Amino acid sequence: MMLWLLLLQVWASCLWLGHSEVVTSFESSCPQFFFRETPPNEALEPENPAWICQRYNNQYFFATLYDRKERIPVYSAYIYEPGPGKRPQGWLVEPQLINDSLPQDMYTVQALERAYNITRAQIMQSQAVSADYENSGWDRGHLNPNGHHNTLASRNATFTLTNIVPMNKKLNRKAWKKYEQQTMRQKTKKCQTDKIYVIVGAVPGNSSIAGGRVNVPSHIWSGACCKTKNNTVSAWAAIANNKLNRIWKISLGQLEKRLGQLYGMQNVSLFHSDCPRNMSLTSWA
């Protein structure tokens, strides 16, 4: 009887939690978050990758390529649908990074420990937790930001730590925020709404927090591609050094070239070939 009550309580407390899923490829499981269903090529894949179709409330909300070794995302890909609303609270983790027999749900650490008898050590082995960032001097920077989504569930889903990197506080709160809010609004004016595809990524750096557990990225970048109201295709990009409060606005082609240099790869392709590589000129903001 006590056990049933306990199980019922656990079940009830987990009811609002959705799903999140480690898959073998984005193409087969959640291609809808990529322009023309085409994810980036393999150039940015880390040694120990996990492809996550981020699920919450029985719905996919975005896709994340995760670097298990550095415990940060390589990138998150999503559709830009900004809307007002309050910032959700509470951090989530990805159970399937621990063991793929665990549920697809995004869970809080506490709920996962209770419902599946998972230890804190097992969770921390597989991914970063909120405590890694506390007193680190770095912000928990969203790659896919909650402000680019217009429902409470989709905003909640961005609060999974698999979408978070250690970000320079000033950059996160000033220049990057301005890019997310103002530049994106202005750049997307000519786009068809609901057809704006964004990929935001982080380049692993040479330092870390939490005793070496979580990599501090050297750069944060963003690329976007949309179908315009005139049925043409438009694309733009930006990159920031994670040490500085400054954004470089560049073309998609320039971003791919810069990432090629940073990763030491020949051939970085972030979007379908229909996305123009040469639009917009270098400028400072």
Q: At its nearest, how many Å lie between ligand NAG and the CB of residue 228?
A: 6
| 16 near ligand NAG, judged by CB under 6 A | yes
Distances (CA, A) of 163 to 129, 145, 209: 11, 9, 17
Q: Is there binding between residue 279 and ligand NAG (CB under 6 A)?
A: yes
What is the secondary structure of 156-170 as a DSSP string?
HHTTBGGGEEEE-HH
Phi first, then psi: give them for residue 76, nearest 5 degrees: -120, 140
Closest CA to 177 of 245, 75, 258, 92: 245
Q: Distance from CA of residue 191 to its chain's centroid?
A: 22
Q: Which is nearer to ligand NAG, 178 or 246 (CB)?
A: 246
Least distance CB 267 / ligand NAG (angstroms): 4
283 binding ligand NAG? (CB under 6 A): no
x/- mask, ligand NAG, residues 52-91, rule CB under 6 A, reads -----x------------------------------xxx-
What is the C-alpha to C-alpha distance for residues 140 and 73, in angstroms, rounded to an integer? 12
Whole-angstrom CA distances from 272 to 152, 187, 198, 233, 263 are 30, 19, 12, 11, 20
Cβ(268)–Cβ(256) under 8 Å? yes
For position 10 contacting ligand NAG by CB under 6 A, the verdict is no
Question: If binding is defined by CB under 6 A, does position 120 make contact with ligand NAG?
Answer: no
Q: How far is CA 224 from the centre of its chain?
A: 14
Query: What's the Cα-to-Cα distance from 206 to each of 58, 84, 179, 217, 252, rounded to whole Å?
Result: 38, 37, 25, 8, 25
Give the range of 6-14, 68-76, 176-184, 275-283 binding ligand NAG by CB under 6 A.
275-283
Contact residue for ligand NAG among 73, 145, 201, 205 (CB under 6 A):
205
135 binds ligand NAG (CB under 6 A): no
**Footprint of ligand NAG on 229-258 (CB under 6 A):** 230
In whole angstroms, what is the distance from residue 76 CA to residue 112 CA? 23
DSSP 107: B
Q: Which span sits near ligand NAG by CB under 6 A: 28-36, 66-74, 137-145, 151-159?
A: 151-159
Q: Of residues 24, 135, 186, 267, which one binds ligand NAG by CB under 6 A?
A: 267
**Strand 219-228 to strand 207-209: parallel, antiparallel, or no bridges (unpaired)?**
unpaired
- 49 or 276: CB nearest ligand NAG: 276
Minimum CB distance to ligand NAG smaller for 109 or for 178: 109
Asked if 24 interacts with ligand NAG (CB under 6 A), we say no
Contacts of 68 by beta carbon, 8 Å cutoff, 6+ apart: 46, 48, 49, 50, 97, 126, 127
14 contributes a contact to ligand NAG by CB under 6 A? no
| Closer to ligand NAG by Cβ: residue 45 or 178 | 45
**What is the contact surface with ligand NAG in residues (CB under 6 A)?**
16, 57, 88-90, 99, 101, 117, 119, 152-153, 156, 190, 205-206, 218, 228, 230, 266-267, 276, 278-279
